[in-house]
Amino acid sequence: MTLEALRGDADALGDKLTRLRRAIHAEPELGLDTPRTRDKIRAALADLPLEWSEGPSTTGVVALLRGRAGDGRSVLLRGDMDALPMPEETGLAFASTTPGTMHACGHDAHVAMLAGAAELLCARRDHLRGEVRFMFQPGEEGWHGARYMLDDGLLDPLPDAAFALHVMPNAPFGILAGRAGALLAAADQLEIVVEGSGGHASMPHQTRDPVPVACEIVLALQTLVTRQFDAHDPVVVTVTQLDAGTAHNVIPDRAVLRGTLRTLSPGHRERLQESVRLLAAGIAGAHGLTAEVRIEEGYPPTICDPRAVALGSQVARELFGPAAFLPLEAPIMGAEDFSYVLEKVPGAMFFIGVAAQGSDWAACCGIHSTKMMLDENAMPRGAAMLAGLAERFLERGFG
């Protein structure tokens, strides 16, 4: 089958997708518990021939569509549901009504696009051979929601392929982009506690001052990155906090560093953690102090299967023309918990540009901004892309 009809069918859903997105945007929810968002999704799709399942750990749901053309492959499409703990300053008529909570990463649009894809594919059910699973997932913003849904068995048996879309508000309207291999980084939280012995600031020789030692560790971490790791497999270490002391004339007993470790491969991730521990302990020990390194592992790197990216490129160009797909030259050092799915299932995540048509897209506020906005006219395009990915994979696989 050709995908041409998907464009018109998706455009016809535009008003419905906008209503769903705005309803979710106005009532954002955090973390793994997003019952109002789940209920809005189920109500929007209540008339479709979908089989729903939910696990004990989250309010995430998976909707199953069985094609009528016989057994075949299985494909997963995912959209995340949770918002961020931050105020909204967009001035939109449908702005958040929950203080200190905002859909600033576009998950409201992700849900709307996935719901649109479900409608499109249900309408084409007679021609589908195999099954499509629609994964509506909470807890992407640091809560490991995808991992919980996997652990709950909601994706069992594992599908043959998996795809997701992520909006990019500072990218040209409607452009679809991706790359084979590492797309996004692993993100681990770093804390280094330097323990010394404080005293009066006028007599530092009678203390073991942790502050200059902490500063030395910060500088040495930058040297570690550039001298121990290949620039073609990038590593980023960023210290964002240095907490020490209570008064201008008191040397504290301890100094605490906090920051983030970003890596694009499992090997460099493991090696970086080990190197940071050795470095901090060595520098502290050289000054007669100790340093305890604590690393809280976040999401693994998001690795896209080359076959899935090639399929995405073909689908985008068939739907929207030869200039519709942009191959990304380099990874982005942000992180995504769709990586948990891609660790187990071949697939890919793609970006869709949602800057307003005709705007200076490079000047638009990015994700996680209190003023982030998107052009809702891009959502039918995203719904068509997701539906096209599923239809093409069920029809041809990665071939």
Residues recognised as catalytic? 299, 376
Residue 343 sits at the vertex; the CA angle it makes with 42 and 54, to the nearest 5 degrees, is 25
Give strand pairing partners of 292.
193
223 membership: H or E segment, kind and range: helix 210-228
Q: Over the range 223-243, which residues count as b (16 or more CB within 10 Å of their CB) and which as e?
A: ebbeeebeeeebbbbebeebe
Look at residue 69 and give its three-state secondary structure. Answer: coil
H or E element in which residue 78 lies: strand 73-80
* 8 A C-beta contact, residue 93 and residue 150: no
The residues with which 44 forms a beta bridge, in sequence order, are none
Phi and psi at 134, nearest 5°, equal: -105, 110
- What is the three-class DSSP state of 191? strand
E strands within 309-358? 325-327, 347-353
Half-sphere exposure of 268 (CA within 13 A, CB side): 23
- Using alpha carbons, select from 118, 168, 138 the residue that is nearest to residue 30: 138
Dihedral (C-alpha) 230, 329, 384, 82: value to the nearest 10 degrees?
Answer: 40
Q: How many Å apart are CA 200 and CA 249, to the nearest integer?
A: 6
